[in-house]
Structure 1
Amino acid sequence: MDVLSMRTIFRCRDLAASRRFWEDTLGLTVAREYGAGGEVTGVVLFAGGGFVELTSSPEATGPSGSGSTVVWLQVASVPDEEARLVRAGVAIDRSAERMPWGLVECWLSDPDGVRIVLVETPPDHPLRRRVE
């Protein structure tokens, strides 16, 4: 299999609320929007080497993030991002902490209940390093 691109697609009950969260609060940048008749029904966002796609789906039931869906976003500083998100009014599910496997993680959820983990690879991590 030769994978050319990857995106995670979320069916959102409230596209506007999800866009505000993913774009304004998390700070992801729009790659493209789509729709018909002048109505935007979806947006693709840059997310590092991949993409996050939000699509309008008012009939979606239950949280999009139920089950095993988790979005993993690696950042330079988890504590800095957590502080910024708290100032923006985001509820943090689990505050930043260094995990037994050596990564720093902070957990939160988007408006549809999608679980998001912010991850930082500390400079002294034994198996991974962030290239600057």
Structure 2
Amino acid sequence: MDVLSSRVLVHPRDPDVTTAFYRDTLGLAVYREFPGGTVFFLGGGFLEVVGRGSTGPGPDVALWLQVRDLAATLADLREKGVEPERGPRREPWGLDEASIADPDGTRIVLVEVPSDHPLRVDVRP
């Protein structure tokens, strides 16, 4: 398989509320809008809010969003009325993580990679 692009699709119960959450509350940049949907930039990928869902998210799926400064991101979100479902903590794998949820309950893991984490170490000789 030769994958050229990818995106995560979210089918919200209320498309207007969920689109506003990702656009206005999280401040994600819009990549594309079309009748019935909006596609947002997610770093190296995309998030598409499209159609209408009825069952809500499953507990085994989450969006993983790396941010530059987790504390500042959480402070900004609190000012906008978004409280973390789980506050920031250093995980056993060395990443600083917290989680929030979108209006339908989709878990969003916010991640900061510490400066001394192996993901930031230059392994070139």
TM-score, normalised to structure 2, is: 0.92
Report SS of the residue matched to 1:52: strand
Do the aligned residues in 2 keep the contact of 1:123 with 1:129 (CA within 8 Å)?
A: yes
Task: Report the AA paired with residue 48 of structure 1.
Answer: G
User: Letter of the aligned partner of 2:66 in structure 1?
Assistant: Q
Aligned counterpart in structure 1 of residue 73 of structure 2, from 50, 73, 81:
81
Contact in 2 for aligned 1:14/1:56 (Cα 8 Å): no
Q: Which runs of 4+ in 1 moved over 3 A?
A: none
Whole-angstrom CA distance in 2 between matches of 1:28 and 1:76:
14
2:37 is the alignment partner of 1:46: no
Report what 1:20 is aligned to.
20
> Tell me, which stretches of 5 or more residues in structure 2 are unaligned?
none
RMSD: 1.4
Instruction: Extract unaligned runs of 5+ from structure 1.
Output: 36-40
Residue aligning to 1:56? 51
Matches within 5 A, 1:1-132: 1-35=1-35, 41-57=36-52, 60-63=53-56, 65-125=57-117, 127-129=118-120
Cα deviation for residue 117 of structure 1 reads 0.2
Higher share of residues assigned strand:
1
How far the C-alpha of 1:56 sits from its partner, in A, is 2.5
- Over the matched positions of the two proteins, sequence identity in percent amounts to 44
Structure 1 length normalisation: TM-score? 0.87
